[in-house]
Amino acid sequence: MNLASPRTMHAACELDHLVVGAHTLEQGTAFIETLLGVRPQAGGRHLAMGTHNIVLRLGARTYLEVIAIDPAGETPPRPRWFGLDEDPIRRRLREQPRLLTWVARTQDIEGAVKKCTVSPGAIFPMARGAYHWRFTIPGDGALVCDGLMPTLIQWDCATHPAENLENRDCELIKLEGIHPAPANIAASFAAPGLGETIALAQADQARLAVIIRSPLGIRTITS
Query: Is pLDDT of 195 > 90?
Result: no
- Write out the residue range of the structural domain in which residue 64 sits: 10-222
Query: Is pLDDT of 169 > 90?
Result: yes
- If you average pLDDT over every residue of the chain, what do you get? 90
Confidence of residue 11 (pLDDT cuts 50, 70, 90): very low
**Lowest-confidence segment of 6-20, 64-78, 131-145, 179-193 by average pLDDT:** 6-20
Instruction: Compute how many other C-beta atoms are within 10 angstroms of the C-beta atom of residue 13.
Output: 28
In total, how many domains does the chain have? 1
- The domain spanning residue 164 has which CATH number? 3.10.180.10
Query: Is pLDDT of 1 > 70?
Result: no
pLDDT digits (tens, 9 = 90+) for 56-97: 999 999 999 999 999 999 999 999 999 999 999 999 999 999
pLDDT score at 8 = 35
Query: Is pLDDT of 188 > 90?
Result: no
- Check if the beta carbon of residue 117 is closer than 8 Å to that of residue 187: yes
Evaluate whether residue 5 is within a structural domain.
no
Evaluate whether residue 4 is within a structural domain.
no
Evaluate whether residue 1 is within a structural domain.
no
Evaluate whether residue 3 is within a structural domain.
no
pLDDT digits (tens, 9 = 90+) for 116-126: 888 999 999 99
CA distances from 222 to 11, 93, 160 (A): 28, 12, 25
What does the angle CA 195 – CA 220 – CA 106 come to, to the nearest 5 degrees? 35
